[in-house]
Amino acid sequence: MTNQEPNTKNVWILVFVAALGYFVDIYDLIIFSIVRIQSFTDIGVHVEEMRTKGEFVLNMQMGGLLIGGIIWGVLGDKYGRIKVLFGSILMYSLANIANGFVQDVMTYGIIRFIAGIGLAGELGAGITLVSETMHRKKRGYGTMIVAGVGVLGAILAYYISEWYSWRTAYFVGGGMGLLLLLMRVGVFESGMFNQISDKSVAKGKISMLFTDKERFKRYIYCLCIGLPIWFVVGVLVTQAPEIGQALGAESVLSAGKGVMFTYLGISLGDFLAGLIAQIFKSRKKVVLVYQLVILLFSCIYLTRYGITETEFLWLAFFMGLGVGYWATFITIAAEQFGTNIRATVTTTAPNFVRGALIPSTILYGVFVNWVGILPAAIIMIVLLSGIAIFALSRLKESFDKDLNYIEE
């Protein structure tokens, strides 16, 4: 089946299963941000070490995502998108179950690293499959549904962590992944990939992204447009207790609730971004508006002295709304490159952006030591947003682009 002659029923089954996959992926991806305080307290981490050790564990997970993005991306172009889905789900499911047994920070970090490698394959392979399978005029709806439904996994993660212990929350995430693996048995491979699978063309050759100047610049710009996204989630919301203290909050701000409201915003934002892009036939314009929304509400949050919990949750929601160009960002990356390296790009791009949280938090930590936590956060969000907006201006509009081609 090709992108031009899709079987409608099978296509929407694929979209539905990809959405469920991303639902589990997001649950497992952000569960640490939600249970950080609870789990660290349980294993004996001192209060004054919560932020630094939390950054260590989160950076280990992000490092796994960075490495996993390369591994699964190359495998996806060489051996098919379906094999990547199966392998990544199995790895992150087993790792999350193992996380329920940790007793110290180092083991915690190592297992989150392994989980990160597994989590790196899910979204890129799913978006690649949907983009290559759906009609080019409608693929935005497919990726919109995958991301919009998928990010609701964060809501379930919050409630599971509220109802049960943090260890049970990890067990639930791993168990859902294994159940999902059984559901994936009937999912079909991309028609575009099947067309080139037996041809003597370079597939999954990551060096192709660096040997051609124009292609390299295109790839770097794709990465840069997503830079503010994970800083919002991984720092501004995850470190809400520390930021709230600096703002003189009336009570301790809950990172768990903040993550939940952020992902509510992301879910709505993904739906709206996909819908608006389809209406106006432009992804670039939508992403620009969303980047400005991130900048606006992040600055309001970081200057809201005496912030209340209600104000924080609303601001988390609106920051999440801005972050809701996540699916559009990945779709843009998929549309910029040929079939023979599309999975490599679409899998590495979101994970390199997630991995970019490592140097971002390091630089943020330097600024914190120099000027304090609030000015440091403002400097970082302005810097990252500026880079993202510039990169967006350098990319060509890719809406309605025919994806059935290869990179020479």
How many Å from the N-terminal Cα to the C-terminal Cα in the chain?
24
Q: Averaged over 219-237, what is the pLDDT?
A: 92
Going by pLDDT thresholds of 50, 70 and 90, the confidence category of residue 226 is very high
Residues 293, 273: Cα–Cα separation, whole Å: 12
- Position 200 in a domain: no
Q: Averaged over 384-395, what is the pLDDT?
A: 95
CA-based nearest residue to 344, from 333, 355, 353:
333
pLDDT tens, position by position, 94-117: 999 999 898 888 999 999 999 999
The residue type found at 130 is V
Residues 311, 382: Cα–Cα separation, whole Å: 22
Place of tokens 């967006």: 392
Q: Count of domains in the chain?
A: 1
Q: Averaged over 57-85, what is the pLDDT?
A: 82
Would you state the pLDDT for residue 75?
A: 85
Which comes out higher in pLDDT, residue 195 or 181? 181
Mean predicted lDDT score pLDDT of the chain? 84
Q: Which domain holds residue 155?
A: 8-183+209-394
CA-based nearest residue to 358, from 52, 70, 62, 53:
62
- Position 106 in a domain: yes
Would you state the pLDDT for residue 287?
A: 95
- Position 198 in a domain: no
pLDDT at residue 16 is higher than 50: yes
* Cβ neighbours of residue 106 closer than 8 Å, sequence gap 6 or more: none
- Position 236 in a domain: yes
Going by pLDDT thresholds of 50, 70 and 90, the confidence category of residue 367 is very high
Going by pLDDT thresholds of 50, 70 and 90, the confidence category of residue 63 is confident
Q: Averaged over 311-327, what is the pLDDT?
A: 93
Residues 201, 179: Cα–Cα separation, whole Å: 36
Give exposure, 318-354, as e/b (b: 16+ Cβ within 10 Å): bbbbbbbbbbbbbbbbbbbbbbbbbbbbbbbbbbbbb
Question: For a pLDDT cut of 90, what percent of the chain falls above it?
Answer: 30
For the chain, how long is the longest CA-to-CA vector? 64
pLDDT at residue 135 is higher than 50: yes
Going by pLDDT thresholds of 50, 70 and 90, the confidence category of residue 1 is very low
Would you state the pLDDT for residue 247?
A: 94
Residues 376, 80: Cα–Cα separation, whole Å: 43
Give the dihedral sign, CA 190/146/72/387: positive
- Position 64 in a domain: yes
pLDDT tens, position by position, 230-282: 899 889 998 899 999 999 998 989 887 888 899 889 888 988 988 888 888 88
CA dihedral angle for residue 71, residue 122, residue 194, residue 78, rounded to 10 degrees:
0
Would you state the pLDDT for residue 199?
A: 62
pLDDT at residue 302 is higher than 60: yes
Residues 208, 195: Cα–Cα separation, whole Å: 20
* CATH (domain of 265): 1.20.1250.20
pLDDT at residue 158 is higher than 50: yes
pLDDT at residue 349 is higher than 60: yes
- Position 263 in a domain: yes
- Position 248 in a domain: yes
Would you state the pLDDT for residue 331?
A: 85
pLDDT at residue 393 is higher than 90: yes
- Position 197 in a domain: no
CA-based nearest residue to 233, from 356, 89, 109, 85:
356
CA-based nearest residue to 136, from 327, 270, 285, 6:
6
